[in-house]
Amino acid sequence: MHPIHFIVFLPLLAAIVGGLTNKAAPAVFTKGLTTGALFVAAVLSWMVFLPFVAGTAEAQVVPVLQWVQSGTLSFDWALRVDTLTAVMLVVITTVSALVHLYSWGYMEEDPDQPRFFAYLSLFTFAMLMLVTADNLVQMFFGWEGVGLASYLLIGFWFKKPSANAAAIKAFVVNRVGDLGFMLGIFGTFLVFGTVDIPRILEMAPAMSGSDITFMGMRLYTMDILCILLFIGAMGKSAQLGLHTWLPDAMEGPTPVSALIHAATMVTAGVFMVCRLSPMFETAPVALGVVTFIGAATCIFAATVGTTQWDIKRVIAYSTCSQLGYMFFAAGVGAYGAAMFHLFTHAFFKALLFLGAGSVIHAMHHEQDMRYYGGLRKHIPLTFYAMLAGTLAITGLGVYHLGVGFAGFWSKDAIIEVAFARGTEVASFAFWMGVFAALLTSFYSWRLMFLTFWGKPRWIESEHIQHSVHKTPEQAGEDTTGGYHPHESPVSMLIPLGVLTVGAIAAGQVFAPAFLDSADFWDGSIFYNEPLIHAMHGVPVLVKYAAFIVMLLGFVIAWYGYIRNTAFPAKVAEQLGPVYRFLYNKWYFDELYDRIFVRPAFWIGRQLWQRGDVGIIDRFGPNGAAWVVERGVGVAKRVQSGYLTSYALIMLLGLVAAVTWILM
């Protein structure tokens, strides 16, 4: 058997066994089974990936079984293994394995641990199915699989109303995007007569410039198909307009946030665009849309992240912003840079989420950063891990020295390639990317300063103080309010250590392969070599732009949250409506509530009360019951029991029948 069989199906097997046994077996059985399966899959994934880096591996398709044969629609279930797949395998299995291990400590007190670990493995299997797909239907199977698993994981604490609402919101918003994805698949089959991805990409250049009738208009075929496919990516990867589910997904356990935001669901859209990059290259209008939406998402999420107080929501909006970088990189034609940022982002974003989980664990599940402060002395290992993640996401590095954290290599490359592209929409993306880098540095250091520096503020948190059983000695300590934050267990610290290494070194080690080697990609994506050469030739000021704004963001955060702590409140008060606009997330939720949610509920009530109850029930079952009741009343009067009455009725009936015949 090929290693890919074990990589893909071990998580599925673990999820099935763990889910079926559930509480019938000890929790440690399901935890050990699922975690062990993921670590085996992760090791095998690196064994598949490294030969591609070394240039000794070749792309191949590993068949599983014959799947569909219906008229002209024919495809098998097969697993594609090429460079793009190998990159995703490493990202998914590595982060998922570490999240499984981390969950041993984080979910230790939860009575439903077997169900949780089974869901995690099911989620991982669905994502692996998506990235190994050799045809669009198989990709859609994995696409919907991660949607289902995300619903189960976000709503894992189903007794919590906000978790149920968040799970439903994620499911519904993604269905909107999935409608576009389905229409894109249908249209692709209509145009190309196949759903086989290699054949579609081979035929795509010949369709460049062709047009099609769509909604009564003559439009370019490839632009329509690619825009419809991108709508699916917008939902899955939380791009502006279909992003509203992502922050609410924080209602799930923190390990779920790390898995969804770093390695699986939100990266599916970026992967899909890069997988179909030869197809997108024939659709210039669609690429412009991808670039604009990515750049707009990048700046939108960064502005909102500067005002949030929930530590997980800050990192969630950070994810949304970083995904915008990936999309506008793909939109300008730098698919290798987009995938490189996806790769490095997986390490430092998983690190930040799991680090935030460690902080939350230490603070008795308090998530409001206003009740943190001074934690670096109490949880030093978590502090150093999150410091590495912050330096990675803000892009600390020096161009002329050729050294830097992971984000320096990938994010700066995206900014440079947008400048090198030179088109109007690419220039817009460049400036949005630079400004977002400033805001990223600000909100990242704001998080660090509020959490790990300053005076301890947890004495002000009623949640922490009321949920802690204090000893008399603790109750007498005025400085801490009787509660002492504590470092996380080893099972949570080991993943933080591994991810810290990735956040520091992943960019430095893999930049040459991802950015500068067409041989590395070996045709798995469209590689624009002239654009990459132009990227390396941009002015020095462009190369240092992200570094300069990163320092500026750091200084602003330091001044506001260390040097002059009254400054942020004064700025927020002076800005007034602008601050409220950002704090309320540009009022997207309120706008959607008025435009879509309330009208939908009103229509539903009308159909229920007037349609179902007032018409269907009234003239249907209720009406039929009324007729039967009245008929029974009449029949009871006729059934008197007297023979003379029955004879009279028979005579009247006979007279009526004869009269009808004669007339």
Across the chain, mean pLDDT equals 89
Which pLDDT belongs to residue 625? 80
* Listed residue (243, 155, 233) closest to 589, CA to CA: 243
* Among 504, 508, 515, CA closest to 403: 508
Every domain of the chain and the residues it spans: 283-521+539-583, 584-619, 624-663
Give the span between the Cα atoms of 507 and 340, in whole angstroms.
8
- Cα–Cα separations (whole angstroms), residue 204 to 109, 198, 331: 53, 10, 17
| Local structure of 309: helix, strand or coil | coil
Cα-based angle 469, 470, 475 (whole degrees, multiple of 5):
155
**Residue 364 near residue 483, CB atoms below 8 Å:** yes
- The confidence score (pLDDT) of residue 462 equals 62
pLDDT at 455: 87
Which amino acid makes up residue 271? Answer: F
What one-character DSSP code corresponds to residue 82? S
Return phi, psi of residue 253, to 5°: -55, 150
Cα of first residue to Cα of last residue in the chain, in angstroms, is 89
Q: Are 555 and 394 in contact (CB under 8 A)?
A: no
Six-digit token string for 38: 């993921």
Question: Which residue bears the tokens 């300590």?
Answer: 477
Strands (E), 337-378: none
Spans in the chain with pLDDT lower than 70 = 214, 262-263, 460-483, 638
Q: C-alpha distances in angstroms, 260 versus 36, 95, 446, 530? A: 20, 10, 24, 35
Exposure class string for 25-48: b at 16+ Cβ within 10 A, else e: eebeebbbbbbebbbbbbebbeeb
Q: Which two tokens stand for residue 436?
A: 């977002």
Write down the pLDDT at residue 465.
57
What is the distance between the alpha carbons of residues 321 and 129, in angstroms, rounded to a whole number?
A: 26
Helix (H, G, I), strand (E, B) or coil at 408: helix
Q: What is the pTM of this model?
A: 0.89
Helix (H) or strand (E) holding 451: helix 424-452
